Amino acid sequence: MRRELPRKRKSKSGSRRFEDVAWLNAVREVRHSLDSTHPIFVREVHITSGEAAPQPTVPFPERHPFCEFNITLDGLLTQFIGDEKIERRPGDVMLLGPGVPHYALRHSYPHTTITVYFLPLVLFEMGPNGDGAWLLSRFAAPQRIDQRVIRLPGKRKTQLMQRIREIGREFREQKPGSELRLWGMLIETLVDLLRWEVATGKWRAGESKPRDWSQLEKALRYLHDHFAEPLYVEQVATAIGATPNRLRELFRKTLGMSCSHYLHSLRIAEAKSRLCLPDTQITEIALSVGFETLSHFNTSFRKLTGMSPSQYVRTLNR
């Protein structure tokens, strides 16, 4: 469905903002099969032709509880993030943190993109004082759209596009050791990109390092370890040595969502993975991932994915 472009206005900072941001009311939570065992998911899109442009690149505006590394390989896009927009060309890179609403319009064919989704957990192995905080800040820190969309010079752009294609190929082929290789390739790609940004003055190292990284790490690990149990904000806060208000502030400022929202997203992501298994019972899965009733599970599943669990299962069997 063709969408009318919003009317732009200038903010005090000079960013391109819009009076018409009605698309934000249509934002849905999307899920991919990520968990602590498989924390990286790669999505490749290649469309050679279609309806007259502009056309949305996804069915509806979206957000998700993951970090996103997206690169345009072919085609021209108008990228919307929050109440800002920017034009994207082949080779442009987009970095998004959890909870950031976004969508795009494509203006030409062929249209080719590769998106790497990963859990913040990927960066936690470096520890609270390691480089993981630096990398996560590049995704999760509040920033303008022209900081989220990166335009690289010729040779560096070509090298990055080749590397991302290799990541996509590794994910498709799923050879022995692919999870480890994907992890290493992703980290190497992010480090090289951020080093270039720091060297060129486009981003300052440590400028927006998440506060109390150690507490955030403990909170997310606790959620991943106990998501199948009855959990409350007060319980998680006690486990990490913080007050409930501090925990809420930590999630809001570093991940762009509440602790409860992250927990529900985590449970639904795990449920989706289990629904892919043969001979699954929806009620059993609902209880096994931490929902106390089937009705609550059905409501949460539909709210976050736009469909019921049974509808989701039917899409898997097509």
Least confident of 22-31, 77-86, 87-96, 219-228: 22-31
**Owner of token pair 């009318």:** 4
Question: Which pLDDT score, from 0 to 100, does residue 44 have?
Answer: 94
Q: From 273, 282, 279, select the one nearest 310 (Cα to Cα).
A: 282
pLDDT tens digit string along 10-25? 444 444 444 456 767 7
Q: From 277, 275, 272, 274, select the one nearest 304 (Cα to Cα).
A: 272
φ and ψ at residue 67, rounded to 5 degrees: -85, 150
φ and ψ at residue 149, rounded to 5 degrees: -105, 120
Percent of the chain with pLDDT over 70: 84
Note the pTM of the prediction, 2 decimals: 0.70
| Mean pLDDT in residue range 289-296 | 92
Most confident option among 18-27, 214-223, 280-289, 308-317:
280-289
Q: Any idea what the Cα angle at residue 66 is, between residues 180 and 211, rounded to 5°?
A: 100
Domains in the chain (CATH in brackets) are 8-199 (2.60.120.280), 213-316 (1.10.10.60)
On whether the CB atoms of residues 27 and 96 are closer than 8 A, the answer is no
Query: Mean pLDDT across the chain, nearest whole number?
Result: 82
- H or E segment to which residue 121 belongs: helix 121-124
| Mean pLDDT in residue range 26-35 | 72
Question: Which pLDDT score, from 0 to 100, does residue 290 have?
Answer: 93
Strands 62-63 and 28-29, by their bridges, are parallel
Question: Which pLDDT score, from 0 to 100, does residue 126 have?
Answer: 55
Beta bridge partners of residue 56, listed in sequence order? 105
| Mean pLDDT in residue range 152-177 | 93
pLDDT tens digit string along 200-241? 988 875 554 545 667 877 888 888 889 999 999 999 999 999
pLDDT tens digit string along 171-204? 999 888 888 899 899 999 999 999 999 999 888 7
